[in-house]
Amino acid sequence: MTTTRRKFISAGAAVGATALAAPAVIAQAAPIRWRLQTYAGAALGAHVCAPAIEKFNAIAGDRMQIELYFADQLVPTSELFRAMQSGTIDAVQSDDDSMQSPTEVTVFGGYFPLTLRYSLDVPVLFNQYGLDAIWKEEYAKVGVQHVTAGSWDPCNFATRDPINSLADLQGKRIYTFPTAGRFLAQFGVVPVQMPYEDIQVALQTGEIDGVAWSGITEDYTVGWADVTKYYLTNPISGAWIGHFFVNQERWNELPDDLKELFKVCTEQSHYYRQWWYWGGEADLRVNGPKLQLTTIPAEEWAQVEAAAEKFWEEVASESEIKAKVVEIFKKYNATMVKAGAPYRY
């Protein structure tokens, strides 16, 4: 068949008209949107969470954006897990203990008493001693994706009155984590739970006597150093174990490259905290003008260390998974002690 010049021009005009009628640019699908709530208030969250989310949003661009909420803005911290599990919140940054996860590993989140000496212990335990696989398996059972684990600061007392002996802990109302409170109760501590943002006023009014929630960097950053006077140098634990979690359905819906981007940004967040807290703890102990340092003598503090080992055995007896984690802690710490300085002194 031959095509005449007239037919060719007519056909071209029709195509041109169709093209002109269509939008000049095909509309792009709306970006994926998540809501993530951190355990941290705004002042602390600016360090421990916001940089990671800002990096993710900048790189993901119009493909995905995460809205960040700070402590208790959407739901109370104790309800974070349930809200994420149900999909009310898409993702969470927290420890297992304070958000009361219904898993076998929850008791080890936050500050498990005297298991860790340094912040670097946490990534080694998760990446070389098998904790990452255990956490992922346990959270998969309850419809949540465990993404990454990292370490935060050590746990020390900041109080209104000086603590120079174990006897000074008697009757002290202390804001702390559920598991830490359970352990410290044997020394007369009265554990207190309340909204994170209420802590400073509670310290100021005397409703509570102190906090065992963080190291000295956080005490200064969030204002607790302004309403306490003393800082006990004996640590309950050398590092906090915390994580990023995602609702499993939301995680499964993500393309693989966005999953990897989220992982990378959270790992960068863990790295930031490692040096921010490590340097901050030392600097503020030496140069911080607000808190006076006190210390319980080593021979007396040995009672706490011995009690911690009994506590481990108590927890290990509760389930096979808990026994497995405790055994990993024991193996790890034995290796560190045998390795000597600088791993353990």
C-alpha span between 13 and 7 (Å, rounded)? 10
Whether the pLDDT of residue 10 is over 70: the answer is: no
Whether the pLDDT of residue 22 is over 50: the answer is: no
Q: What single-letter amino acid sits at 217? A: T
Rounded to 5 degrees, φ, ψ at 4 are -75, 160
C-alpha span between 134 and 146 (Å, rounded)? 10
Whether the pLDDT of residue 4 is over 80: the answer is: no
pLDDT for residue 221: 96
C-alpha span between 132 and 129 (Å, rounded)? 8
State the pairing for strand pair 91-94/241-247: antiparallel
pLDDT tens-digit readout, 66-125: 999 999 999 999 999 999 999 999 999 999 999 999 999 999 999 999 999 999 999 999
Whether the pLDDT of residue 20 is over 50: the answer is: no
Between 62 and 28, residue with greater pLDDT: 62
pLDDT for residue 137: 98
Whether the pLDDT of residue 333 is over 80: the answer is: yes
DSSP 203-220: HHHTSS-EEEEE-HHHHH
Which has the closest alpha carbon to 85: 100, 64, 66?
100
Whether the pLDDT of residue 45 is over 60: the answer is: yes
Q: What is the mean pLDDT of residues 43-71?
A: 97
Q: What is the mean pLDDT of residues 11-21?
A: 45
Percentage of the chain exceeding pLDDT 90: 90
C-alpha span between 266 and 281 (Å, rounded)? 22
Whether the pLDDT of residue 210 is over 60: the answer is: yes
Provide the mean pLDDT of the chain.
Answer: 92
What is the set of domains in the chain, with CATH numbers? 32-153+240-287 (3.40.190.170), 156-237+290-339 (3.40.190.170)
C-alpha span between 274 and 151 (Å, rounded)? 7
pLDDT for residue 30: 85
pLDDT tens-digit readout, 241-259: 999 999 999 999 999 999 9
pLDDT tens-digit readout, 130-148: 999 999 999 999 999 999 9
Residues 6 or more apart from 101 whose CB is under 8 A from it? Answer: 81, 109, 139, 142, 144
Q: Which helix (H) or strand (E) holds 311?
A: helix 298-316
Count of Cβ atoms closer than 10 Å to residue 24 Cβ: 6
28: confidence class by pLDDT, cuts 50, 70, 90: low
Count of Cβ atoms closer than 10 Å to residue 291 Cβ: 22
Whether the pLDDT of residue 313 is over 70: the answer is: yes
Q: What is the mean pLDDT of residues 292-319?
A: 97
Whether the pLDDT of residue 21 is over 50: the answer is: no
Residue where the block lists tokens 């640590």: 235
Q: What is the mean pLDDT of residues 154-173?
A: 98
Whether the pLDDT of residue 218 is over 80: the answer is: yes
C-alpha span between 194 and 197 (Å, rounded)? 9
C-alpha span between 129 and 122 (Å, rounded)? 10
pTM beyond 0.85: yes
